[in-house]
Homo-oligomer: A and B are copies of this chain.
């Protein structure tokens, strides 16, 4: 039965390709349909994929819209406020409008000073960005409750695959900042970490340290079932299928192959470093994933039986989506498993011995299936392909990510402990925002954010001191922007696994140690 369906799909796709016209290709939906034709029914209506969780997609989209609108409204509101800055009762009106439209108060001092040399819209803009993100963090628990309960790759599932911790390093690029919950459908939690580095080129030494901390818990017996669980490091590079030369990874000059090879090499370096320092038994599993940021579709690279990843041994979920549209859930799953099996044999002929282990296979199959929902999410809620395939971030995070707030193109994430080491990552971000913001007279909002451990004495003070140190280093490095008032930094700290989330700290000088 589904052989017939499949044949019809192929015929239909060919027919669609023949019919492609420049006009049709110019609209995003049509473009997506042609490049990656979804399965159509006889009435030209998209049929729904059997493995897609549509309820989850709706919840995710509601959430995305809620958060996004907090930021998109800012410019509009500020423009309106600006028009009556010289009116009587300006302050009252401005505050009321902000409260109604944005949900927070504007800083009184800025409003009060407006009569002297005009309203400082530049400062207001950054302050509104920070207030919006703070509001989103504060509301996260309520606003995310629906979709969090439905995300398929939760802690229990990951443990069933053999992983106590998943540490993801996507590129710092904003388009990758929804990769956890949206693209990969991982349930955010203490066992899932995201550390963005430009070009996905994570710091090997820092990642050995992060691994070591978990490894001690595992070895010391402080982790349930620790003896059968491992650490998984995922590197996520990216590319743009519709504009490969312009909207790929900036850190690799939009060179798809270079992005793949570089991320792969970093994974191998991490494995080698741990292997040679701590012995073979210790090495973490690694996984290399590419994301087509136009469609949020995946290229999953398969490790071999020794856990070694490969640039050439992969499959693509966009193809799976097309191939399995219209199939029953069972048939679609059989197809996914077959695709993975074929991909596994791609590298060489040594079949049998070089198959990935069962836990990794379970994870890869689940990732492939979960991503079908995200592919349809983009088709259904984002006109087949993201309207903005390039950069559209609202702010930069330097330091550690804000766990409660992760969304595509919301922010650029430079994971770092010091600017001295993290400068190349930050440079890419500043470069992006110079075009996005500074070129239009808007300052670059940078949130310097670090987590602390409330159980450890002085950890919070040290996190604040680190934040100030990094803030000072950012201001020094981009002194030209700062001098022109085009760089606004704020410092915030959160308690790791605790209740204090994104508390802004006063703007004092660096504490000496």
Interface residues of A (CB under 8 A from B): 201, 203-205, 209, 212-213, 215-217, 219-220, 222, 268-269, 272-273, 276-279, 281-282, 417-421, 424, 453, 455-459, 462, 469-470, 473, 512-513
Task: Find out whether the CB atom of B216 lies under 8 angstroms from the CB atom of A282.
Answer: yes
Q: How far is the CB of A12 from chain B (nearest CB, A)?
A: 47
Listed from nearest, the 5 A-B pairs whose CB atoms lie closest are A219-B219, A276-B455, A418-B420, A420-B420, A273-B456
CA distance A456 to B272 in the complex (A): 6
Q: How far is the CB of A386 from chain B (nearest CB, A)?
A: 29
CA distance A421 to B217 in the complex (A): 28
Task: Find out whether the CB atom of B457 lies under 8 angstroms from the CB atom of A269.
Answer: yes
Residues of B within 8 A of A203 (CB): 513
Q: How far is the CB of A455 from chain B (nearest CB, A)?
A: 4
Chain B residue with the shortest CB-CB distance to A459? B273
Task: Find out whether the CB atom of A220 lies under 8 angstroms from the CB atom of B424.
Answer: no
Residues of B within 8 A of A470 (CB): 420
Residues of B within 8 A of A420 (CB): 418-420, 469-470, 473
Cβ-neighbour of A209 out of B212, B217, B456, B458 (below 8 A): B212
CA distance A273 to B417 in the complex (A): 18
CA distance A209 to B417 in the complex (A): 14
Q: How far is the CB of A475 from chain B (nearest CB, A)?
A: 13
Task: Find out whether the CB atom of A456 lies under 8 angstroms from the CB atom of B220.
Answer: no
Cβ-neighbour of A424 out of B213, B273, B513 (below 8 A): B513
Chain B residue with the shortest CB-CB distance to A268? B457
Residues of B within 8 A of A421 (CB): 417-418, 469
Residues of B within 8 A of A453 (CB): 273, 276-277
Task: Find out whether the CB atom of A220 lies under 8 angstroms from the CB atom of B512.
Answer: no
7 A–B pairs (Cβ distance < 8 Å), ordered by A: A216-B278, A220-B278, A222-B278, A222-B279, A272-B456, A277-B453, A277-B456
Chain B residue with the shortest CB-CB distance to A222? B279
Residues of B within 8 A of A273 (CB): 453, 456-457, 459
CA distance A201 to B458 in the complex (A): 14
Task: Find out whether the CB atom of B512 lies under 8 angstroms from the CB atom of A424.
Answer: yes
Chain B residue with the shortest CB-CB distance to A463? B205
Residues of B within 8 A of A268 (CB): 457
Q: How far is the CB of A205 from chain B (nearest CB, A)?
A: 7
Cβ-neighbour of A513 out of B201, B215, B462, B512 (below 8 A): B201
CA distance A207 to B276 in the complex (A): 21
Residues of B within 8 A of A217 (CB): 278
Residues of B within 8 A of A459 (CB): 273
Given A268-B457, A276-B456, output 19 extra A-B contacts at Cβ < 8 Å: A203-B513, A209-B212, A212-B212, A212-B216, A215-B216, A216-B219, A216-B282, A220-B278, A222-B279, A269-B456, A269-B457, A269-B458, A276-B455, A277-B453, A417-B421, A420-B420, A420-B470, A420-B473, A424-B512
Residues of B within 8 A of A220 (CB): 219, 278-279, 281-282
Residues of B within 8 A of A272 (CB): 456-457
Chain B residue with the shortest CB-CB distance to A213? B212
CA distance A513 to B473 in the complex (A): 19
Q: How far is the CB of A458 from chain B (nearest CB, A)?
A: 6
- Taking each of A201, A220, A462, which has the highest tally of chain B beta carbons within 10 Å of its own beta carbon? A220
CA distance A279 to B209 in the complex (A): 18
Chain B residue with the shortest CB-CB distance to A456? B273
Chain B residue with the shortest CB-CB distance to A262? B513
Chain B residue with the shortest CB-CB distance to A197? B513
Residues of B within 8 A of A418 (CB): 418, 420-421
- Taking each of A209, A469, A513, which has the highest tally of chain B beta carbons within 10 Å of its own beta carbon? A513
Q: How far is the CB of A272 from chain B (nearest CB, A)?
A: 5
Q: How far is the CB of A196 from chain B (nearest CB, A)?
A: 14
CA distance A215 to B513 in the complex (A): 27
Q: How far is the CB of A134 from chain B (nearest CB, A)?
A: 26
Residues of B within 8 A of A455 (CB): 276-277
Q: How far is the CB of A35 from chain B (nearest CB, A)?
A: 34
Chain B residue with the shortest CB-CB distance to A469? B420
CA distance A240 to B268 in the complex (A): 52
CA distance A273 to B213 in the complex (A): 12
CA distance A419 to B459 in the complex (A): 21
Q: How far is the CB of A249 from chain B (nearest CB, A)?
A: 14
CA distance A277 to B469 in the complex (A): 25
Chain B residue with the shortest CB-CB distance to A453? B277
Residues of B within 8 A of A277 (CB): 213, 453, 455-456
Q: How far is the CB of A250 from chain B (nearest CB, A)?
A: 13
Residues of B within 8 A of A219 (CB): 216, 219-220
- Taking each of A219, A269, A456, which has the highest tally of chain B beta carbons within 10 Å of its own beta carbon? A456
Residues of B within 8 A of A279 (CB): 220, 222
Q: How far is the CB of A278 from chain B (nearest CB, A)?
A: 6
